[in-house]
């Protein structure tokens, strides 16, 4: 199966990316913290997380960064190249909630064929992540 890649000329400022809802399971939070070698107890031990002032374990920033990358590159296609990701965390992602990622094309750089996408991830508490992703797209359609 060939995956289509977005071509630079076909992307417009103001274009919305499709929403992506990600169920925040305990397994996702623990497994991705361990996979990213983040052994901080607040990402896997509920009792210690509560003792440290949290209501439960919560997602680490490396996982959030990876999910933002995946969200944008799934929309852009396999020939897109990520050039920069700048994110800021807000409220925690706790197990049992859902994070919904949304994005909008906020700028284009014709000389470099780069597209900036403003990204936001929200859960029931509010904004978990906000930021931008810059990608480079091919000039023409590749399949």
Q: What is the mean pLDDT of the chain?
A: 94
Question: Which H/E stretch holds residue 135?
Answer: strand 126-136
Q: Which two tokens stand for residue 16?
A: 């919305």
Superfamily of domain 8-136: Hotdog Thioesterase (3.10.129.10)
Tell me what pLDDT residue 125 has: 98
* Cβ atoms 99, 89 nearer than 8 A: no
Reported as a single tens digit per residue, the pLDDT across 27-55 is: 999 999 999 998 888 899 899 999 999 99
Confidence category of residue 10, pLDDT binned at 50, 70, 90: very high
User: In degrees rounded to 5, what are phi and psi of residue 33?
Assistant: -65, -45
Reported as a single tens digit per residue, the pLDDT across 100-139 is: 999 999 999 999 999 999 999 999 999 999 999 999 999 8
Confidence category of residue 3, pLDDT binned at 50, 70, 90: low
**131 conformational bin, left if phi > 0, alpha if psi -120 to 50, beta if neither:** left
Tell me what pLDDT residue 143 has: 46
CA dist 43 to 13, 36, 54, 129, Å?
Answer: 37, 11, 11, 17
């Amino acid at each position: 199966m060939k995956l289509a890649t977005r071509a630079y000329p076909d992307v417009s400022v103001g274009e919305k990316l499709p929403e992506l809802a990600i169920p925040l399971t305990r397994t996702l939070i623990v497994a991705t913290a361990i996979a990213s070698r983040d052994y901080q107890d607040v990402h896997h031990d509920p009792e210690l997380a509560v003792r440290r002032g949290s209501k439960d374990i919560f997602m680490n920033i490396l996982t959030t960064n990876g999910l933002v990358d995946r969200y944008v590159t799934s929309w852009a296609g396999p020939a897109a190249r990520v050039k920069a990701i700048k994110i800021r965390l807000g409220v925690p992602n706790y197990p049992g909630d859902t994070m919904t990622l949304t994005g909008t094309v906020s700028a284009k750089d014709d000389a470099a064929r780069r597209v900036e996408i403003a990204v936001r991830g929200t859960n029931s508490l509010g904004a978990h992540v906000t930021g931008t992703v810059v990608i480079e797209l091919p000039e023409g359609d590749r399949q």
